[in-house]
A and B are shown apart, each in its own frame.
Chain A
Amino acid sequence: MWWHRLFHRSEKEEELDKELRFHLDQHTSDLIAQGYSPEEARRQARLTLGGPEQVKEECRDARGTRWLEDLLQDVRYSARVMRKNPGFTAVAVLTLALGIGANAAIFSVVNGLLLRPLPYRDSERLAIIWTHSPGANVAQDWPSPGQFSAIKSLAGAFEDMALAQGASLNLAGESGAERVDALRVPSNMFTILGASPQLGRAFLPEEDAPGKPPSVVLSHGLWQRRFGGDRGVLGRQLTINGQSYTVVGVMPADFSLGFDVMPTVGAVQQPELFLPLPLSAESMRSQGDENYNIITRLKPGVGVAQARAELDAAARQLAQQFPDTYPPSRAFSFSISPLLEQVVGDVRPALLILLGAVGCVLLIACANVANLLLARAAVREREMALRTALGAGRWRVVRQLLTESLALSCAGGGLGLLVAYWGLNSLRALGPGNIPRVQDIAMDARVLAFTFGVAVLTGVLFGLAPALRGSRVNPIAALKEGGRGSAGGHRRLRDALVVAEISLSLILLVGAGLLIRSFARVQQVQPGFDTRGVVSMRLSVAGTSYAGERAIAFYQQLLERVRHLPGIESAGATSILPLGGGIGWGGITIEGYVPATGQSVIQADQRIAGTGYFETMKVPLVSGRYFDERDAKDSTKVAIVDEKMARTYWPDRDPVGKRMKPGGADDDTPWLTVVGVVGNVKQYALDADSRVTFYTPHQQNPSGTMYLAARTSGDPRGLTPAVVKEARSLDPNVAVFDIKTMGQRLSESLARRRFAMLALGLFALVAMLLAAVGIYGVMSYSVAQRTREIGVRVALGAQPRDVLALVIRQGLLLALIGVGAGLAGAGAVTRVMGSLLFGVSATDPATFAAIPLLLVAVALLSCYVPARRATKVDPMIALRAE
């Protein structure tokens, strides 16, 4: 068997030797018998047989396992070469480890986010449905049960669909109330996802209608935390928002339905409770209750295009049935978003850009190692010539050199896996907190295969040219004493490699520069309030004991106490904090204002503000007054609007005294009188525009769940425990959560942008350093090659500064060509970054001017040491060395 021949190679070698020796001995004795002398006989026998080594070679060829034996031999030799040049090996392997490791790390992220399927049955067929009403200034909105029913009635492309609603609820417990994320779902939700409870059951179809005793399904995490994994949990009671629920099931540990998969109106991050969604027949017809998510499973074989067509038909049907709700001016439509797209769609551009960037870093690393190999090839010419003279074909030599390159790249790849592992851990620790699917990022089999593939490709890439060059030797010329070799001929290739490195690093640096400028611009955006020194937290008092005034009273008492704490300057409450991640908007009507394009309502952000809120947040007052004691429960209903609303709808007048109301003109909501205008506040993010906003006083709009903001004179974090204590002393059951300073919220809102900037900046820096090393290497080598020429020049009277200029000129030329090519490339490539930029164009002149200067400076710096060395050349020694 062929593997037998492989593994018993030494045995086979001995046998072959024995066989040939036997033959020689037999022939020799025969010749002696014919009358030859022993020495003559032996000589004749040897001549007739031919060179024993050659015979053995041919026998080995005949064995058929030649290629594998050669490979093993090459690998052993490569290992020896690597050991004998530890410095070279270390530099090459480290450079490659950096490049390959970075690629492996980013690919792990790409794999986890974009390539791995979501953890639901046949997740490619799942999708989320949104609505759009651009004519009413609503870019994207959550659907309503009425819209859901319209789609369901068409029953073509969709196998099944379900509504869902998120809610943040108070879960009672021994140590006080806990705020828990929950999801209200119908009975078919888990079926659609292909998940089933590990204990008990999901909801029954009867529970989709009102009137059944409330049941609840727990998440695995909550089950462990609250009940210690007790398998007898079924049938136990839980008090949620003051009501009693029966536990009927527990979901498995690997099930999750978080915000990145299904973003609910209530912005629940990770639901731990699942409640039924009982909707009456009347609710199912409501068009305006647009606060639900729709998740759907497409029928097998149905494409997104077909689904879209069906959704368009549903929209048309709604317009026909309810022409007042869906006038043509509203431009109402549905859209469908495949689930994966929904989860990772907005990080995909940044991720792909980072992947391209690490690819560039790897190319630069390859160029450096190729240059190293080319330099060494010149040194090893005699060795290669010897091999050729001994009978190795050119292809054999190339194969051996390539094996050495692959050995280097695989060693670099192995070390690179360590780099990637460490890199991913850092990413998890330091990265923005809101990476979707972060739990799916891991170094799995596909990542390992990718790393191996990249290592092999890299080895071939940087090894091929040096191997081809190194094997092309003229044995006679090279083996002569003092043979100079063809080292000079490599020069153009090495220069080209360095120019390529400079171009690539320029592109990366420009990209990073643009992101840095964007980030700086975003940070300069005024949020509309003072973010320094404010601590904020969310509180919730729930249950029937807190209906109406009791909630207001609670907050009023709490705020009074907090204001009197030492170190607190002011305090106030609001329903939704800016940059807090909350959402609250709806339609309003402004008295006397007819919307120009025939829309029925205007969309506005709605907020509740307690007395003292604006003063605490230092939102400036433009006109009128802030809320105060005059705005009590039974007084005139009032509102404060922001500057954007004032300018848009009361352009040349003072809105104070004018009226507006939530909802449509005919809705049963009270008219609000405007009493003040405040400055615009960035509600969602510094780089996003807010809608027009209006505020109503807490006394007139009692809500049990409010954010408390307190301005401190010292460190806001230090005063947090005191505030929490006050809250708990008023009511031990109040839920206090989401405790952060406004500074933290601001920083978190910038987290993704900051991370992209840091990542790209890091890669650009590494690229620049590698390019600098590359320039240094090439210039050093060039100086060494030109030692004789420099010696001649110095002997002929050249000054040190002339020699310096000579070397620097050469380096500068390379740098300028590289920068030129890089600028052209950058101009083309940065177009791709459009979505990541803010306040800078993709061809920002300042960046495009500054980066080349930086790179040229770095290049000159790298040339400096070799240039200095050149000035120290002693002409006597240089000329004599030949």
Chain B
Amino acid sequence: MTLTKSDLPQGTLDLLILKVAALGPVHGYAIARRLEQASRGVVQVPQGSLYPALHRLENRGLLAAEWRETETGREAKFYRLTRKGRAQLETEAAGWQRLAEAVGLILRMSEGGAG
């Protein structure tokens, strides 16, 4: 299943980007690749919404950007998580966990009462 732009809510994409950035400074293309790999092909980020999301997060001060050389010698824009971003990541990840558990509970409900 390939998630299209309308399926992946905006907040979720932001959360995923923050998580990837938490693992170390990374440029936009690498984030897209990482998300695809880590989710075993389920999450294919429509790249058209990736960059607007990155710029938005940079705007809000959750990511900091700088231009660096890659291993191949080209210049690319690398994003890393700020302290504010880290705090936001933790809050949102916790919230997502709670939501996922609750949804799971409801889905495991059998007929005639709670499971």
A contact residues around B47 at 8 Å (CB): 23, 48-50, 55
Beyond A23-B29, A27-B29, whether A55 also contacts B77 by CB under 8 A is no
B59 on interface, CB distance cutoff 8 Å: yes
B40 on interface, CB distance cutoff 8 Å: no
Question: What's the nearest-Cβ distance from chain A to residue B63, in Å?
Answer: 12
B contact residues around A19 at 8 Å (CB): 27-28, 51, 76-77
Query: In the complex, what residue of chain B is closest to A29 when comparing beta carbons?
Result: B72
Contact-residue size bin, chain A (C-beta under 8 Å from the other chain):
20 to 34
Q: Mark A23-67, 1 if CB is under 8 A from B, else 0.
A: 101110000000000000000000011110011001101111000
Beyond A23-B29, A50-B46, whether A62 also contacts B55 by CB under 8 A is yes
Q: In the complex, are the beta carbons of A58 and B59 less than 8 A apart? A: no
B56 on interface, CB distance cutoff 8 Å: yes
A376 CA / B77 CA spacing, docked (Å): 47
A585 on interface, CB distance cutoff 8 Å: no
B contact residues around A58 at 8 Å (CB): 48-49, 51-52
Q: Mark B35-51, 1 if CB is under 8 A from A, else 0.
A: 00000000000111101
B101 on interface, CB distance cutoff 8 Å: no
Q: In the complex, are the beta carbons of B52 and A62 less than 8 A apart? A: yes
Q: Mark A848-860, 1 if CB is under 8 A from B, else 0.
A: 0000000000000
B75 on interface, CB distance cutoff 8 Å: yes
A20 on interface, CB distance cutoff 8 Å: yes
Beyond A50-B47, A58-B49, whether A22 also contacts B29 by CB under 8 A is yes
Contact residue among A15, A25, A49, A55 (Cβ-Cβ distance under 8 Å from B52): A55
A18 on interface, CB distance cutoff 8 Å: yes
Chain B 71-98 interface residues, beta-carbon cutoff 8 Å to A: 74-77
A59 CA / B52 CA spacing, docked (Å): 4
Question: What's the nearest-Cβ distance from chain B to residue A69, in Å?
Answer: 14
A25 CA / B73 CA spacing, docked (Å): 13
Total interface residues on B, CB under 8 Å, equals: 18
A contact residues around B67 at 8 Å (CB): 15
A50 CA / B74 CA spacing, docked (Å): 23
Question: What's the nearest-Cβ distance from chain A to residue B52, in Å?
Answer: 4
A490 CA / B76 CA spacing, docked (Å): 54
Query: In the complex, what residue of chain B is closest to A25 when comparing beta carbons?
Result: B74
Q: In the complex, are the beta carbons of A54 and B48 less than 8 A apart? A: yes
A22 CA / B51 CA spacing, docked (Å): 12
Beyond A19-B51, A58-B48, A59-B52, whether A26 also contacts B29 by CB under 8 A is yes
Contact residue among B29, B48, B56, B74 (Cβ-Cβ distance under 8 Å from A62): B56
Query: In the complex, what residue of chain A is closest to B48 when comparing beta carbons?
Result: A50
Q: Mark B10-49, 1 if CB is under 8 A from A, else 0.
A: 0000000000000000011100000000000000001111
Question: What's the nearest-Cβ distance from chain B to residue A602, in Å?
Answer: 88
Q: In the complex, are the beta carbons of B74 and A22 less than 8 A apart? A: yes
A contact residues around B27 at 8 Å (CB): 19, 22
Question: What's the nearest-Cβ distance from chain B to residue A62, in Å?
Answer: 4
A408 CA / B76 CA spacing, docked (Å): 45
B contact residues around A54 at 8 Å (CB): 48
Query: In the complex, what residue of chain B is closest to A5 when comparing beta carbons?
Result: B59
A54 CA / B46 CA spacing, docked (Å): 13
Q: Mark A57-89, 1 if CB is under 8 A from B, else 0.
A: 011011110000000000000000000000000
A51 CA / B51 CA spacing, docked (Å): 13
Chain A 796-845 interface residues, beta-carbon cutoff 8 Å to B: none
Q: In the complex, are the beta carbons of B29 and A59 less than 8 A apart? A: no
Query: In the complex, what residue of chain A is closest to B55 when comparing beta carbons?
Result: A62
A26 CA / B77 CA spacing, docked (Å): 13
B contact residues around A16 at 8 Å (CB): 51
Query: In the complex, what residue of chain A is closest to B74 when comparing beta carbons?
Result: A22
Query: In the complex, what residue of chain A is closest to B67 when comparing beta carbons?
Result: A15
Beyond A22-B27, A23-B28, whether A59 also contacts B77 by CB under 8 A is no
Q: In the complex, are the beta carbons of B52 and A22 less than 8 A apart? A: no
Query: In the complex, what residue of chain B is closest to A24 when comparing beta carbons?
Result: B29
B contact residues around A22 at 8 Å (CB): 27-29, 74-77
Query: In the complex, what residue of chain B is closest to A51 when comparing beta carbons?
Result: B48
Q: In the complex, are the beta carbons of B77 and A15 less than 8 A apart? A: yes
A566 CA / B49 CA spacing, docked (Å): 103
A contact residues around B74 at 8 Å (CB): 22, 25
B contact residues around A15 at 8 Å (CB): 67, 77
Query: In the complex, what residue of chain A is closest to B59 when comparing beta carbons?
Result: A64
A649 CA / B77 CA spacing, docked (Å): 107
A contact residues around B29 at 8 Å (CB): 22-23, 26-27
B contact residues around A62 at 8 Å (CB): 52-53, 55-56, 59
A190 CA / B48 CA spacing, docked (Å): 78
Q: In the complex, are the beta carbons of B59 and A55 less than 8 A apart? A: no
Q: In the complex, are the beta carbons of A55 and B28 less than 8 A apart? A: no
A contact residues around B55 at 8 Å (CB): 59, 62-63
Question: What's the nearest-Cβ distance from chain A to residue B95, in Å?
Answer: 23
Question: What's the nearest-Cβ distance from chain A to residue B85, in Å?
Answer: 16
A25 CA / B67 CA spacing, docked (Å): 17
A contact residues around B28 at 8 Å (CB): 19, 22-23
Query: In the complex, what residue of chain A is closest to B49 when comparing beta carbons?
Result: A58
Beyond A15-B77, A19-B77, A26-B29, whether A59 also contacts B48 by CB under 8 A is no
A566 CA / B55 CA spacing, docked (Å): 98
A-B CB proximity, top 3 nearest = A50-B48, A58-B52, A62-B55
* A–B pairs, 20, beta carbons within 8 Å: A15-B67, A16-B51, A18-B75, A18-B77, A19-B51, A19-B76, A22-B77, A23-B29, A26-B29, A49-B48, A50-B46, A50-B47, A55-B48, A55-B52, A58-B51, A62-B52, A62-B56, A62-B59, A63-B55, A64-B59
10 further interface pairs, Cβ-Cβ under 8 Å (given A55-B51, A59-B52, A62-B56): A18-B77, A22-B28, A23-B29, A23-B47, A26-B29, A49-B47, A50-B46, A55-B52, A58-B52, A62-B55
